[in-house]
Chains A and B, each alone.
Chain A
Amino acid sequence: MEVEDFNLWYGDKQALIDVNMPVAKNKITALIGPSGCGKSTLLRCMNRMNDLVDNCKIEGKMTFRGEDIYDKTADVMALRKRIGMIFQKPNPFPMSIRDNITYGPKIHGISKQSELDEIVEQSLVQAALWDEVKDRLGESALSLSGGQQQRLCIARTLSIHPEVILMDEPTSALDPIATAKIEDLAVELQKDYTVVIVTHNMQQAARISDYTGFMYLGKMVEFGVTETIFSSPSEELTERYITGRFG
């Protein structure tokens, strides 16, 4: 994936300014920066979730496997099937655990029961939730704890086998133990998937990501290999932010 000279306006307000960044395959890319810097906006642009916002205008290019995501002929639904998303707050559907997982596959035309069962197990195993819920797949997803719910959401995304998984501060609503589990999961996932994660937590970015982008006021201040960014950033702004001497 590639982002080139990307600009975005909400009404008159410009939220992203000339953003450039690559997303490497089967790696974890982290986006960090203070609140309101545009990192979530950028992430949501990657599977066109910003289409839902009225009077949102974009300019520039964002490509996926060489094709422009924002091309007029692009099929948004097909795009989102291949670029999945995990949200800040766990948002399972008010249905049973099983129905949560099968929702996506059904939408995309899989109806054979055996096939669906297989997907349910496979996804939950991948999301490290299988052992905890295998005996109560029929129960409401809302009966799970927050961390379990978030892993269920990850399983739900995995069920349709996306190529890229976007994570929008997936651990901000969770306690440390649940957070650790999600982090482990993210690392595990990068074998098969490309992961882009937005996080407030710099340690988290340092711990799990391969590449890190630091954003400030809608601009991509610095992008590079995580180790470099955290040990010897080239921009002063980045350094001040990661050492906590900021605003």
Chain B
Amino acid sequence: MTDGRDSIKKVKKFHHDAVMKYVLLAIASVTVLIIFFIILFILINGVEALGDIGIVKFLTGTSWKPGEGSYGALPLILGSVLVTFGAIMFALPLGLGSAIFISEIAPKRLRSILKPICEVFAGIPSVVYGFFGLIVLVPLLRNIFPDHLLFGTSWLAGSIILGIMALPTIISVSEDAMRAVPMSYREASMAMGATRWETTRKIVVPAAISGIAAATILGIGRAIGETMAVMMVTGNSPIIPEPLWNFFEMLRTITATLALEMPDVVSGSTHYAALFLLALVLMIMVLAINFTAKLIIKRSRRKFGETMSSGSSLNRITNTAKRRPVSFHILMLISVFFITLAIASALLDLFAGFICASFALTVFALVSTVIRRSGSRPTAYMISKRMPKILRSAVLTALFVFAWMVASLFADTSTSVLAAFIVLIVAIVFIPVAKRMGARIREKVAHTSLWLVIVMVVAILIALLYDIVSKGLPALSIDFLFGYPEEGGLSGGIFPAIAGTIQLVFGTMMIAFPLGITSGIYLAEYAKNTRSTKIIREAIDILNGTPSVVFGLFGMAAFVIYLGTGYALIAGCITLAVMVLPVIIRTTEEAVLAVPRELREASLALGASKWETTMKVVIPAAFGGVVTGLILSLGRAAGETAPIMFTAAVVFRSSVSLSLLDPIMALPYHLYFLATEVPGSETMQYGTALVLLIMVLFMFALASVVRYRYSKNIKW
């Protein structure tokens, strides 16, 4: 065999390499073109509205009445911000508490149960949360606050539902961050005689603070882009709450506006352009939020000099708390802004409130920068020495204002001020008492409250699941699963909806898989690290963070109206495919990059071409990761409502059609329809919710089985 006379000169053997590189490049370019096209499409359509409306009028106008030609988006933007703010106020303490509990206190076995529970809840479709909110939470709130809530649908309801939805994200990401804090830190602290609680509070949490901040911000990003759940429970009045913190008011978010008004507008009209402009504003908001998260992650990573190949995994974020992290300052800035805004707008009007708040924000930012910059100078030292005192009085002031804000919703001015004072005094008395408690007692108190938090969180989640399962099970029958809806959805079955969802998922798979996988492989294996690759990655990230309703908007404008498919399966599939494309690309890329370089070298050293190496070594090795990503993306596609409600889904179909040009029924949309439009169909609603839940959770279970199997087989 070792024929020494062979030349190493090129022989006329077919080399896949050159060809395949261009094939991959071609497919990846198609994907990239699609991505840029969508971004451009929204940009161009939205910018058109600027000429007609004017950016200032659009952003500061307080009246959204397209029928009368007034397009003031402030109530909608504020609506999105306020609902999200409320959700975080609700979810952050619970989420953080649960994360601390799971990471630091829970026995190993309990932890191994709690973690998967969290993941399950992250996978439940938005419309199911909305359904739960509408049918359980809204009547409940109406009964608790009969004087304040006419409908029950309100900011409060929206925030609670969104908070519950954000909980799993916050818990699992911040728990990961805390687990990543090296054991040796804890041991060092305990070895000095600190209690577990002191170790947690002073070592673990500060060390993981960047991860926690990133988790919170990711939670915010998810909440602000939510459509279905919010639309179902907030009442959708385009108003600014009065006073601004009146969480009993109904309000309307940007996402809900898009979902409500898109079907009624005429393409090319001002109203149409205004909706695209709204979508653009929403995208920018989400982008800014995600960018902040990325920045925080990056900073904490640089501090440790860590070089990690995978971009989005937060698993190994750690941090020391030598300096107050940026996130703390951002939080301070935000609270300064809102507190000033609240006070000033109560005393004056909203506009003046904004000016005052912005002014206070600037002053505060300047002062804090000066303090941080001036390092060891005497004045700065004096200030920073007093920092705890300043901080404490700031917290107390905030507490006072907050108590007053809540109380003022229930009582007149003097009573509410009195109530706020009582809260303040209790707090002032309580702090020294708490300080004087022994470390042991404090630990007891802290751990007990964490137990309470976790019990509460689990109770909420279990209640949701139990409610749907227990009331949905009786609805399940052969007739229900294989029958057609009758009496407008009051009876009969949901077969066309099940079939439609399967069709949608299948079609999405057909379009998104080849494009996504090839692009992911191209990016990981072939793309050089040039500026254009960077831009492509950014574009993918932008699309990744884009709220699903924006895809619906795009799908409707591009396919239903422009191409004239009408509501059609194909339009829904393409829209969903475009939505999951970035997820598929990124997970494929990450899985491929996670394959060790040594394997590629081994293969190349055996004389394999790059293409052979990719196909026979890299992809099989990355298979588990890729497949997991694919299944997860399909699970997401199956549960989405907003992208299909303007592109493919209709209320009723009398037969299951296989034509790509026919509209379909789909489970999530059917659930939305039943819950909002068919009074008296509770049994059908619960049945539909349960079937949808089973379908989606089945996919998530499948994904984790695949992941488990492959992580067992392959270790490096």
In the bound complex, what is the Cα–Cα distance between A108 and B13 (angstroms)?
A: 11
Does A182 have its Cβ within 8 Å of any Cβ on chain B?
no
Does A142 have its Cβ within 8 Å of any Cβ on chain B?
yes
CB atoms of A75 and B8 under 8 A apart: yes
Does B104 have its Cβ within 8 Å of any Cβ on chain A?
no
Residues of chain A from 31 to 59 with CB closer than 8 A to chain B in the complex: 47, 49, 52, 54
Nearest chain-B residue to A85 (Cβ)?
B605
Residues of chain B from 554 to 611 with CB closer than 8 A to chain A in the complex: 596, 598-609
**Cβ contacts B3-27/A at 8 Å (1 or 0 each):** 0101111110001000000000000
CB atoms of A93 and B607 under 8 A apart: no
Contacts of B713 in A (CB 8 A): 94, 140, 142
CB atoms of B599 and A93 under 8 A apart: yes
| Chain B contact patch, size range | 20 to 34
- Choose the segment among B191-199, B292-300, B442-450, B614-622 that binds chain A (4+ C-beta atoms closer than 8 Å): B614-622
Known: A95-B620, A161-B1. A80 touches B606 (CB 8 A): yes
Contacts of B598 in A (CB 8 A): 87, 89, 91
**Cβ contacts A69-86/B at 8 Å (1 or 0 each):** 101011101111110110
Nearest chain-A residue to B621 (Cβ)?
A94
CB atoms of A79 and B601 under 8 A apart: no
In the bound complex, what is the Cα–Cα distance between A81 and B352 (angstroms)?
A: 76
**Whole-angstrom distance between the Cβ of A98 and the nearest chain B Cβ:** 14
Does A64 have its Cβ within 8 Å of any Cβ on chain B?
yes
CB atoms of B10 and A75 under 8 A apart: yes
In the bound complex, what is the Cα–Cα distance between A149 and B714 (angstroms)?
A: 14
Contacts of A95 in B (CB 8 A): 620
Contacts of A104 in B (CB 8 A): 606-608
CB atoms of B714 and A52 under 8 A apart: no
CB atoms of B620 and A157 under 8 A apart: no
In the bound complex, what is the Cα–Cα distance between A91 and B4 (angstroms)?
A: 28
CB atoms of B607 and A67 under 8 A apart: no
Contacts of A80 in B (CB 8 A): 604-607
Does B48 have its Cβ within 8 Å of any Cβ on chain A?
no
**Cβ contacts B616-657/A at 8 Å (1 or 0 each):** 110011000000000000000000000000000000000000
CB atoms of A74 and B10 under 8 A apart: yes
Q: Which of A52, A94, A140, A163 contacts B604 (CB 8 A)?
A: A52
Does A6 have its Cβ within 8 Å of any Cβ on chain B?
no
Known: A89-B598, A161-B2. A79 touches B8 (CB 8 A): yes
Does A153 have its Cβ within 8 Å of any Cβ on chain B?
yes
Does A107 have its Cβ within 8 Å of any Cβ on chain B?
yes
Nearest chain-B residue to A83 (Cβ)?
B605
CB atoms of B620 and A94 under 8 A apart: yes
Does A160 have its Cβ within 8 Å of any Cβ on chain B?
yes
CB atoms of B606 and A156 under 8 A apart: yes
**Whole-angstrom distance between the Cβ of B529 and the nearest chain A Cβ:** 7
Nearest chain-A residue to B528 (Cβ)?
A54
Contacts of A153 in B (CB 8 A): 602
Nearest chain-B residue to A163 (Cβ)?
B2
In the bound complex, what is the Cα–Cα distance between A104 and B608 (angstroms)?
A: 7
Does A13 have its Cβ within 8 Å of any Cβ on chain B?
no
Does A230 have its Cβ within 8 Å of any Cβ on chain B?
no
In the bound complex, what is the Cα–Cα distance between A93 and B621 (angstroms)?
A: 8
Q: Which of B1, B2, B9, B612 contacts A107 (CB 8 A)?
A: B612
Contacts of A74 in B (CB 8 A): 8-10
CB atoms of B602 and A87 under 8 A apart: yes
CB atoms of B10 and A87 under 8 A apart: no
Does A103 have its Cβ within 8 Å of any Cβ on chain B?
yes
Contacts of B9 in A (CB 8 A): 67, 71, 73-75
Does A245 have its Cβ within 8 Å of any Cβ on chain B?
no
Contacts of B620 in A (CB 8 A): 94-95
Known: A103-B606, A140-B713. A91 touches B599 (CB 8 A): yes
CB atoms of B601 and A87 under 8 A apart: yes
Does A112 have its Cβ within 8 Å of any Cβ on chain B?
no
Q: Which of A71, A73, A94, A160 contacts B606 (CB 8 A)?
A: A160
Known: A49-B601, A52-B604, A104-B607. A93 touches B10 (CB 8 A): no
Contacts of A64 in B (CB 8 A): 8
Q: Which of B599, B606, B714 contacts A81 (CB 8 A)?
A: B606
Q: Which of A82, A87, A91 contacts B8 (CB 8 A)?
A: A82
**Whole-angstrom distance between the Cβ of B713 and the nearest chain A Cβ:** 7
Of listed A74, A94, A161, residue having the most chain B CB within 10 A: A94
CB atoms of A69 and B8 under 8 A apart: yes
Does B322 have its Cβ within 8 Å of any Cβ on chain A?
no
Q: Which of B11, B616, B617 contacts A75 (CB 8 A)?
A: B11
Nearest chain-B residue to A81 (Cβ)?
B607
Does B373 have its Cβ within 8 Å of any Cβ on chain A?
no
**Cβ contacts A134-156/B at 8 Å (1 or 0 each):** 00000010100000000001001
Of listed B2, B602, B612, residue having the most chain A CB within 10 A: B602
Contacts of A69 in B (CB 8 A): 8
Contacts of B714 in A (CB 8 A): 94, 142
In the bound complex, what is the Cα–Cα distance between A78 and B10 (angstroms)?
A: 8
Does B377 have its Cβ within 8 Å of any Cβ on chain A?
no
Nearest chain-B residue to A25 (Cβ)?
B4
Of listed B8, B11, B608, residue having the most chain A CB within 10 A: B8
CB atoms of B608 and A107 under 8 A apart: yes
Contacts of B8 in A (CB 8 A): 64-65, 67, 69, 74-75, 78-79, 82
Does B109 have its Cβ within 8 Å of any Cβ on chain A?
no
**Whole-angstrom distance between the Cβ of A138 and the nearest chain B Cβ:** 13
In the bound complex, what is the Cα–Cα distance between A219 and B399 (angstroms)?
A: 70
**Whole-angstrom distance between the Cβ of A106 and the nearest chain B Cβ:** 8
In the bound complex, what is the Cα–Cα distance between A69 and B10 (angstroms)?
A: 11
Contacts of A52 in B (CB 8 A): 600-601, 604
**Whole-angstrom distance between the Cβ of A152 and the nearest chain B Cβ:** 11
Of listed B4, B599, B606, B714, residue having the most chain A CB within 10 A: B606
Known: A49-B601, A94-B713, A94-B714. A82 touches B6 (CB 8 A): yes
Contacts of A162 in B (CB 8 A): 2
Supplied contacts A87-B605, A89-B598, A93-B599, 6 more A-B pairs, CB within 8 Å: A75-B8, A80-B605, A81-B607, A104-B606, A107-B608, A161-B2
- A-B CB proximity, top 4 nearest: A81-B607, A91-B598, A85-B605, A104-B606
What is the interface of chain B, defined by CB distance below 8 A to chain A?
A: 1-2, 4, 6-11, 15, 528-529, 596, 598-609, 612, 616-617, 620-621, 713-715
8 A/B residue pairs, CB under 8 Å, sorted by A? A49-B601, A79-B8, A82-B8, A82-B607, A87-B598, A93-B617, A94-B620, A95-B620
